[in-house]
Structure 1
Amino acid sequence: MSQSRWQWENATAGAVAGFATVATMYPLDVVRTRFQVNDGRVTNYPTYKNTAHAIFTITRSEGLKGLFAGFLPSVLASSVSWGVYFFFYDRAKQRYSRNGEEKLSPGFHLAAAAEAGALVSLCTNPIWLIKTRLQLQSPFHQSRPYSGIYDALRTILREEGWTALYKGLGPGLLTQVCHGAIQFTAYEELRRIMVDYKERKQKSESGGDLLNSFDYAVLGGASKIAAILVTYPFQVIRTRSQQRPSNDGIPRYTNSWHVVKATARYEGFRGFYKGINPNLLRNVPASSITFLVYENVLKFLRPTGRND
């Protein structure tokens, strides 16, 4: 099998995994975004007591469609992100490896994940910005909401210019690079430890086939927790900087550094972890689903096993 075909198998598996992740856990993503922008000061957004109250309130005031606001751009962005991520991540690993059989060190896994994360962030930031804007729309917000992806894109370009599509790129880059690097390094190392343990236990040579779906789900969830705890403040900063300007055209935050200063001043350290509970509830099982789907799709496309 050619090397280029292997790379497209990784992209396909990543895209399928990304779609499965978004489709199953999306309402919690909406709730997380609403929590992230609520800074405790005068705001157009409703206040929620907890995750359950947020889901109930959104459903009551906006209907079920409120829990799926921005779903289409989120599916698009997630599928593209994971597909591109796995594609470039696998290419980077192959480049760092002197031959297809050699196991990479944690440092090389970290470098490969960071490289892939930076490229993904540059490609998908406009889609994530539109997704965030659509998620934050509520009956209490703008007098003229976006009607969909195209209307949001057209309105943003007309009212704010093309540079607005890259608001939050700085913290977005830090999130993608650091989050992906931590998650994938943890995943690869935990995977190696688990495979080595099962090889010793079963005295088998075929390490690539030793792990089952439950193992992949555990590995994906554990690696995600580590990445979230370290990088979550970057997500809060990005979400707040991507908010739509008020009706008079004045943005709530001028840039990412303004977000950092205002959050630290008015909310302290806890402000940088607003919405982390629904984020963990969504992303830990979602990551388990992502890696479970990814590994099983990869096994289907690459039946001879994987070579890292």
Structure 2
Amino acid sequence: MSSASQWQWETATAGAIAGFATVAAMHPLDVVRTRFQVHDGRVSNLPTYKNTAHAIFTIARLEGLGGLYAGFSPAVLGSTVSWGLYFFFYGRAKQRYSKNRDEQLSPGLHLASAAEAGALVSLCTNPIWLVKTRLQLQTPLHQTQPYSGFYDALRTIVREEGWAALYKGLLPSLFLQVSHGAIQFTAYEELRKVVVDFKSKKRRRHSGSADSVLNSVDYAALGASSKVAAILLSYPFQVMRSRLQQRPSSEGIPRYMDSWHVIRETVRFEGVRGFYKGITPNLLKNVPAASITFIVYENVLKFLKFARTNE
């Protein structure tokens, strides 16, 4: 295997491990976020929650630990696959745009690399996220036969709604993946350069590499900062995707027909605030999660590089 190919698989492995660690730690907040996102104030099978803490307490009391970890299997699968593919596609795109691995890319090329990776990941993983959303929205109030798990949900969706249903919410998902990933990774890379330059000058090590200058605290701060920027700018696409991916009624009628229908109805009944429902648990989940992800990713990548150079 060439060094370039090995480096790409190293980034994919680091990303997959980082994604698993993130989901395992933060899943209950993901359930709460999804339920807030689809609660549009009209007739709903979901309980009404006052805030994030009340939602967690209510779900735990009425549904037990299983409720807080609803959709955990597809969340683990989706996050692990998504992060692995994302870092793989992102690494390949960066290599393609640079003449050699040591050349620093411009912000525009970082943006293009992240956008390309986000679009490819979205196409590959949309069915997994659809199932996760459906499982997270199941409550004791539902009248329809619940899905018993990931594979049962897949079979039932295909049987009742057809293969095309697995790609519900794909359009906002594409916008979400491209914009969110592009913003996050561009912000991460640019902030990383600033911190590396600052710490290198402070230590008078102008020739030192980023790996020798940055530590886990730096990676945590960089991951959190870049995540906040990405969430604030791309969050409405998450709300749109979740609303489109809801299970149809027992008569087979979807709550929302398409992305434009979601936009019209949300603006009509909830205003702009409707596009930011669930953002508090989303920030609580994803800001520390991004820190965990980048700490794990960068340190796993260091370990794999060290192991390769010492073979």
TM-score range (shorter-chain normalised) is over 0.9
Q: Pick the aligned partner of 1:246 from 230, 246, 249.
A: 249
Q: How many angstroms apart in 1 are the aligned matches of 2:187 and 2:239?
A: 23
Q: Which runs of 4+ in 1 moved over 4 A?
A: none
2:268 matched residue in structure 1:
265
Contact kept, 8 Å, 1:142 with 1:246, in 2: the verdict is no
Q: CA deviation at 1:207?
A: 2.6
Aligned letter for 1:200? K
Calculate the TM-score normalised by the size of structure 2: 0.97
Q: CA deviation at 1:35?
A: 0.2
Which moved further from structure 2: 219-228 or 138-147? 138-147
Contact kept, 8 Å, 1:129 with 1:165, in 2: the verdict is yes
Q: How many angstroms apart in 2 are the aligned matches of 1:177 and 1:110?
A: 9
Which moved further from structure 2: 197-206 or 22-31? 197-206
Q: How many angstroms apart in 2 are the aligned matches of 1:185 and 1:304?
A: 28
Q: Deviations over 1:61-85 (max 9, x none)?
A: 1011100000000000000000000
Q: How many angstroms apart in 2 are the aligned matches of 1:303 and 1:197?
A: 25
Calculate the TM-score normalised by the size of structure 1: 0.98
Q: How many angstroms apart in 2 are the aligned matches of 1:202 and 1:210?
A: 9
2:129 matched residue in structure 1:
128
2:64 matched residue in structure 1:
63
2:145 matched residue in structure 1:
144
Q: CA deviation at 1:142?
A: 3.6
Secondary structure of 2:145's aligned partner: coil
Q: How many angstroms apart in 2 are the aligned matches of 1:304 and 1:148?
A: 39
2:85 matched residue in structure 1:
84
Aligned letter for 1:76? L
Contact kept, 8 Å, 1:130 with 1:152, in 2: the verdict is yes
1:231 matched residue in structure 2:
234
Secondary structure of 1:303's aligned partner: helix
Aligned letter for 1:134? L
Q: CA deviation at 1:304?
A: 9.1
Q: CA deviation at 1:44?
A: 1.1
Q: How many angstroms apart in 2 are the aligned matches of 1:187 and 1:179?
A: 12
Aligned letter for 1:210? V
Secondary structure of 2:296's aligned partner: helix
Q: How many angstroms apart in 2 are the aligned matches of 1:85 and 1:142?
A: 38
Segments of structure 1 that go 5 or more residues without pairing to the other structure are none
Secondary structure of 2:306's aligned partner: coil
2:115 matched residue in structure 1:
114
RMSD: 1.1
Q: CA deviation at 1:276?
A: 0.2
Kindly indicate whether residue 225 of structure 2 is the aligned counterpart of residue 222 of structure 1. Answer: yes
Map residues 1-308 of structure 1 onto 2, 5 A cutoff: 2-204=3-205, 205-208=207-210, 209-303=212-306
> How many pairs are equivalent?
305
Q: CA deviation at 1:219?
A: 0.2
Q: How many angstroms apart in 1 are the aligned matches of 2:81 and 2:72?
A: 14
Secondary structure of 1:63's aligned partner: helix
Secondary structure of 2:81's aligned partner: helix
Q: How many angstroms apart in 1 are the aligned matches of 2:257 and 2:143?
A: 19
Aligned letter for 2:265? A
Which moved further from structure 2: 151-160 or 203-212? 203-212
Question: Relative to 1, partners in 2 of residues 1:99 and 1:63: Cα closer, same or farther, differing over 3 Å?
Answer: same
Identity across matched positions, percent: 73
Segments of structure 2 that go 5 or more residues without pairing to the other structure are none
Q: How many angstroms apart in 2 are the aligned matches of 1:116 and 1:175?
A: 12
Aligned letter for 2:208? S
Which moved further from structure 2: 137-146 or 288-297? 137-146
Q: How many angstroms apart in 2 are the aligned matches of 1:303 and 1:3?
A: 15
Q: How many angstroms apart in 2 are the aligned matches of 1:156 and 1:143?
A: 13
Aligned letter for 1:290? T
